Amino acid sequence: MITPQRSVWATVAKGIILPDMNRRMRHTLTMPLLLACLSAVSACIPLSPKAPKGWHGTKVENPAPLFDDQERHSILFQLLFGYRRVWGHSALRLIGPGDHKIFWDPGSHYGDSKRLNIKRIKDVIFEHDVPSIMTYMNYRYDEAALLETHFTVMEWYISDDTAADMRRVLIHGYDPENEPEPPPLEKFQTDVPTFFCSAAMCEFLQKYGRNEITASKTYNYPHHLLNELWHTHPPQRVIVFNSDRTATVYLPPDTRQPTACDNP
């Protein structure tokens, strides 16, 4: 049973810091200040992640066939990281069981455009509206005009119980099968202000990743979370995209090299 705790996002997402302002206005007002702060420390952010010793890296010119969500019998948990020197972003996709899909894109705006006709509720997108890896990668590189230089996908197969807990929390803000409904401000807040995606992702993993995928502390920069997980909770596979849309696929030690036709 997970003990209800007051989410750090209850303070921010509910507008205690900036009351009487809707989500979009809070994002607009905080962005210039946060950009200035991030720019001051931008030299500390690397341009690309570094694989742990022993991991195999193979360049793939056409990475699209690497991602096939059809006929999947295991539950796949994917963390997505986009970044450049001044900023970064983290999101997650949960694929399975069966045809179920859920996508959490904290603090970003994929699906906000009316032309996409996507139902996005508190930064969460469900089922057929969940973007493919290639669609979201192209959005980060092109449509969002974020000028990101790298996009990384980390993949784990997780247990049914952990996946079910995560899915319920992303939908309800708590786990209705294992805990009583908490007050609104104590629910997990999926609606996250811009630039707080990494801290929110760390909190989510700490509370609901059990021992399968968790963060030892809260990170402000996504690449710090990426590096910790790569070393402490090694994924089954890591795909690092470059700005030219090619990718390098990394596999753990003692595994064979992938081909462009391999499925996760």
Binned at pLDDT 50, 70 and 90, residue 221 comes out as: confident
Q: How far is CA 111 from the centre of its chain?
A: 15
pLDDT for 169-206, tens place per residue? 999 998 888 888 888 888 999 999 988 999 999 999 99
Q: What's 176-195 look like in SS3?
A: CCCCCCCCHHHCCCCCCCCC
Q: Name the one residue in this structure whose structure tokens are 């539950």.
A: 75
Phi then psi dihedrals of residue 31, to 5 deg:
-60, -50
pLDDT for 104-117, tens place per residue? 999 988 888 776 78
Q: What is the dihedral of CA 150, 151, 156, 160, to 10 degrees?
A: 160
Buried/exposed code over 154-192 (b: 16+ C-beta within 10 A; e: otherwise): bbbbbeeebbbbbbbbbbebbbeeeeeebeeeebbbbbb
* CB of 240 closer than 8 Å to CB of 152: yes
pLDDT at 80 over 70: yes
pLDDT at 249 over 50: yes
- Choice among 43-47, 48-52, 77-81 with the minimum mean pLDDT: 43-47
pLDDT for 21-36, tens place per residue? 454 444 444 544 554 4
Tell me what the pLDDT averaged over the chain comes to. 78
Q: How many residues does the chain have?
A: 264
Share of the chain above pLDDT 90, in %: 43
Share of the chain above pLDDT 70, in %: 72
Binned at pLDDT 50, 70 and 90, residue 9 comes out as: very low
Question: In the prediction, which pLDDT does 26 show?
Answer: 46
pLDDT at 257 over 70: no
Q: Which amino acid is at 262?
A: D
- Between CA 150 and CA 168 the distance in angstroms is 31
